[in-house]
Amino acid sequence: MAEVTLEERGRALEDQFFEKENQQKLEAMKGKLDSQRSREDLRKASGMSDDAVLDRLVALGLQSNTIAALSLVPLVQVAWADGTIQDNERTAILQGAHGKGLEAGTDGYELLQTWLKKKPTEELFVAWEAYIKALASQLNEEQNRLLKNQIVGFAKMVAAAAGGILGFGKVSGDEEKVLTRIEAAFPR
Predicted structure pTM score = 0.66
Confidence of residue 23 (pLDDT cuts 50, 70, 90): low
pLDDT of residue 2: 64
Q: Please state the rounded mean pLDDT for residues 159-187.
A: 80
Which residues span the domain enclosing 134?
1-188
Q: Measuring CA to CA, how many Å separate 156 from each of 115, 125, 145, 153? A: 18, 16, 16, 5
Q: How far apart are CA 98 and CA 91, in angstroms?
A: 10
- The better pLDDT of the pair 100, 140 is held by 140
What is the radius of gyration, based on Cα positions, of the chain?
Answer: 24
Q: Confirm if 158 and 79 have CB atoms less than 8 A apart.
A: yes
Q: How many domains does the chain have?
A: 1
Mean pLDDT for the stretch of residues 2-9: 70
Please tell me the distance from the alpha carbon of residue 43 to that of residue 91, in angstroms, as a whole number: 22
| Distance, CA of 3 to CA of 173 (rounded, Å) | 89
Query: Which of the two residues, 131 and 116, has the higher pLDDT score?
Result: 116
Position 165 scores a pLDDT of 47
Q: Quick one: pLDDT at residue 95? A: 84
pLDDT at 57 over 60: yes
User: Is residue 60 very low, low, confident or very high in pLDDT (cuts 50, 70, 90)?
Assistant: confident
Q: What is the mean pLDDT of residues 116-123?
A: 89
Rounded mean pLDDT, 74-95: 90
